[in-house]
Structure 1
Amino acid sequence: MSMSRSRNSRLPPCPWLLLVVFLVSEFPSNSYADVGTSARYAPPYLPTTCYGGEATQFPSSNLFAAAGDGIWDNGAACGRQYLVRCVSAEQPRTCIPDQSIQVKIVDYASSAVSAASAPSTTLVLSDKAFATIANTSAALINIEFQQV
C-alpha cells in the first residue's frame, strides 16, 4: 500500500490541467489591437495627402481618417483600413458602447486641410466616423484600433 501511494505522489494532481496549460500556451490570443488616441476633423477634407483632390477616394460610408505620425509610415498608411472603437475618454459616457467602425486612411493628420480637435493623435476621424463611436462634444478619445 505504501508503494502505491509513493507512485501516485509522483503524478501531477490534475493531468488534464497540464494539457490545458499546454494548449493555451501553444495557441496565443487572436487579439492584435493597439491602443491610441483619436480626435476628429470637419470638412473641408480635400485635397488629401494620399489622393489629392479626388472625391472618389472617400468610402461611401464617410468613415475615413487621417493617420497620425505613429502609423503614417512615410505614406504607406494611405488606403489602409482599420477597425476602431472608443474605449474611454476624460468625460464619462463619451464612448458609444459596443460600437466599432472600419475606417480608410485618406490623409496625413499633420498636413490635413482642416485642423484636428486635438493635436498629436494616432488617428483623426472624419466627423461621421467620430460620431459613430463617441459623443461629439469630446475633443479627444482613447481608442483601440487594428489594421484589417
Structure 2
Amino acid sequence: MASSLATLIVSSSFFVSFILVLQLSSFPSCRADVGTAASYSAPYLPSACYGREATEFPSSNLFAAAGDGIWDNGAACGRQYLVRCISAAQPRTCIPDQSIQIKIVDYAPTATTLVLSDKAFGSLANTSAALINIEFQQV
C-alpha cells in the first residue's frame, strides 16, 4: 500500500510539472520584437492613416509611420507600441532605460520598422543618429 501511494504521489507530481511546463511554453513572458527606427520631421499631414485629421495624432507627439514590415496593408493604423532603443552604430546614442509608447499614424515605404516623429526619436536617442536598433511590443 505504501509503495502504491508513493507511486501515485510521484505520478501526480510529474503530471503537475508537465502541465506547468506546457503552460509556460505556451505563454512566453516576453513578446517584444527587434527592428530599426529612423526619424522624420514635420509636416506630418496628410498621413496615410488619417489624411489631414490632426486630432487623431497623440497630443504627446509620440507617433510613428509604419515600415513595410508592420504596415499590414493599413491594419497598423492606430496600433500602439512600446519602443526602446537598444543600440546604434555610434556608442552612447541610446538614452538608457527609456521606453515610450507610440501610435502608428502613417506609412513609410521603407525597410525600416518604424519612422518615429522627431519628438519620439529624441525621447529614445541622440537626434544626431540616423538609425537606431529598437525593441518594440504592441500594447
Task: Say which one has the larger Rg.
Answer: 1
Which residue pairs with 1:62 in the alignment? 61
TM-score calculated relative to the size of structure 2: 0.82
- Unaligned 5+ segments in structure 2 are 1-12
CA distance in 1 between partners of 2:85 and 2:17 (Å): 33
* 8 Å contact kept, 2:69–2:111: no
The 1:47–1:88 alpha-carbon spacing in structure 2 relative to 1, beyond 3 Å, is same
Does structure 1 residue 133 correspond to structure 2 residue 124?
A: yes
User: How many residues end up aligned between the 2 structures?
Assistant: 123
Distance (Å, rounded) in 1 between the aligned partners of 2:85 and 2:19: 34
- Secondary structure of 1:86 counterpart: strand
- In structure 2, give the amino acid aligned to 1:53: R
Q: What's the secondary structure of 2:94's corresponding residue?
A: coil
Q: Name the CA distance, whole Å, in 2 between partners of 1:121 and 1:67.
A: 8
What do the CA deviations read for 1:49-73 (whole angstroms, capped 9, x no partner)? 1000011111011000000000000
Distance between the aligned counterparts of 1:87 and 1:24, measured in 2?
A: 30
Three-state SS of the structure 2 residue aligned to 1:132 is: helix
What is the rounded CA distance, in whole Å, between the counterparts of 2:57 and 2:118 in structure 1?
13
Q: In structure 2, what is the Cα distance between the partners aligned to 1:22 and 1:92?
A: 45
Distance (whole Å) between structure 2 residues aligned to residue 23 and residue 138 of structure 1? 45
Confirm or deny: 8 A CA contact 2:36 2:113 kept in the other structure: yes
Please name the residue that 1:48 is paired with: 47
Q: Distance in 2 between matches of 1:130 and 1:93?
A: 15
Q: Kindly report which structure 2 residues correspond to 1:113-128, keeping only aligned pairs within 5 A, or say none.
A: 120-128=111-119
Instruction: Kindly provide the CA deviation profile for residues 95-135 of structure 1, in whole angstroms up to 9, marking residues without a partner as x.
Output: 0011000000000012xxxxxxxx52000000000000111
Return the alpha-carbon distance in structure 2 between the equivalents of residues 53 and 22 of structure 1: 52
Q: CA RMSD in A?
A: 1.7
Q: What TM-score comes out, normalization by structure 1 length?
A: 0.77
Percent of aligned pairs with the same residue? 76
Is residue 2:95 matched to residue 1:96?
Answer: yes
Partner in structure 2 of residue 5 of structure 1: none
Could you list the runs of 5+ residues in structure 1 that have no partner in the other structure? 1-15, 111-118
